[in-house]
Structure 1
Amino acid sequence: METLSIVKIGGNVIDDQDALNHFLHNLAALPGYKLLVHGGGKIATETAHKMGIPVQMHEGRRITCFETLKVVTMVYAGYVNKTITASLQASGCNAIGLSGADMNMIKAEKRPVKEIDYGFAGDITEVNITQLNLLLTAGITPVCCAVTHDGNGQLLNTNADTIAAALASALAGSWNTSLYYCFEKNGVLEDINQAHSVIPQITRTYFEELKQKAIIADGMLPKLNNAFAALENGVKEVFIGSHQMIGSTEVVNTKIALS
């Protein structure tokens, strides 16, 4: 099978134009087939504040009321998605910006209300690998934002880490797939205040130990859960680290392994 790199970019990298440009240049130069998933939460939060819309979070996940859904759609599927796509074109990478509704790419269902009402948050139910494979085999790099749909006209806000893992899992049967979670840190840190305290490898057993010690918490928890889910669904390898690891074999990062 051909190699496919699925890269998720988020955190402060999207807000740092120099870092983003460096990352996109390296991604464009990366050999083989690739797919990019991006967040944009900080910009969405700033935009919501400017519009007077309250921002609510729970365990690293955004609670999405109807007005917040408008904001994340404008920011994720609009400004951020098209800016990244244009930058990849400038670097010689033929890319297409997509939401989950485009080409019926990712369907989701509105998350049921349990202890927390997440509003218009979507849990993925289906990935259209046929359409994605058409784009990839044509040499086009999909740039996927964190907006999905339910198939009945309703847009939904879906965690970008979850989208990256779902896409990697769905495409693992067609490609030799690697998943990269890129953000502003060098990897998963043993000490959040020490940038170089990168944990080189985390197995599921070690993950449970790190959770009990509260070394891994908050927004890193869903990222690690998604990483393990991807490996269990046939993804070859998963890495978490800085944007500089793309295209480099020398940059320190954290490898996620089942055992």
Structure 2
Amino acid sequence: MLEFLRLFSEVSGPKILVHGGGKGASEMTTNLGIAPQMVNGRRITDAATLDIVTMFYAGKTNKQVVAGLQKLGVNALGLSGADGNVIHAVKRSVREIDYGFVGDLDETSINVRLIHQFLELGLTPVFCPINHDGHGQLLNTNADTIAASLAKALSQQYAVELHFCFEKTEC
């Protein structure tokens, strides 16, 4: 992760980082006695799993990324979608599979105005995959989905480049 953060810190201009951490979240749930449930690479997020992934993504992982960026001179701000109402989601409907507390995004999910303010202040938002439904319920949304939704929403104001980086691939 350190090499990735170093490379990210060298990108000039306004930037946003969205992180996942599914492998670490699965390891943590297993260590706490809850077997991860996955369907087609997507996490089933029951109430107990939501508690754990919220701690892992919004706490441990997010703050490690922010601290790493601060070390490299990037003034990073760690966020979940619930912070500042910056990403609003809708709980995924049950179809063939009940994914539990998983959020889906639409064209109104991203608070572009607030993100613009962060960027204007010289802050680099670092988003974890936790957001909310506006009714007090936290939701887990795939980090790739969040990154794509942010890129699309911000493309109205910025020239956007979206780069996906994964644990086992180079960016």
Q: TM-score, normalised by structure 1?
A: 0.64
| Root-mean-square deviation (Å) | 0.9
Matched position secondary structure for 1:80: helix
1:133 correspondence with 2:116: yes
Shift of 1:167: 0.3
Alignment match of 1:67 (pick from 41, 48, 55): 48
Tell me the amino acid that sits aligned with residue 57 of structure 2. Y
Alignment match of 1:152 (pick from 135, 143, 167): 135
Partner of 2:68: 87
Partner of 1:117: 98
Rg larger for: 1
Partners of 2:167 and 2:114 lie apart in 1 by: 31
Shift of 1:54: 2.1
Gaps of 5+ in 1: 1-19, 187-241, 244-259
The number of equivalent residue pairs is 169
- Percent identity over the alignment is 53
Gaps of 5+ in 2: none
Structure with the larger strand share: 1
Note the 1:148-187 alignment, pairs <5 A. Answer: 148-186=131-169
Q: TM-score, normalised by structure 2?
A: 0.96
124-133 or 74-83: bigger deviation = 124-133
Note the 1:1-259 alignment, pairs <5 A. Answer: 20-125=1-106, 126-186=109-169, 242-243=170-171
Shift of 1:32: 1.2
Partners of 1:92 and 1:161 lie apart in 2 by: 26
Post-superposition CA distance 1:148-189 (Å, at most 9, x none):
100111000000000000000000000000000011444xxx
4+ residue stretches of structure 1 with deviation over 2 A?
none
Q: Which has the higher contact order (CA 8 A, sep 6+)?
A: 2
Tell me the amino acid that sits aligned with residue 43 of structure 1. G
Shift of 1:138: 1.2
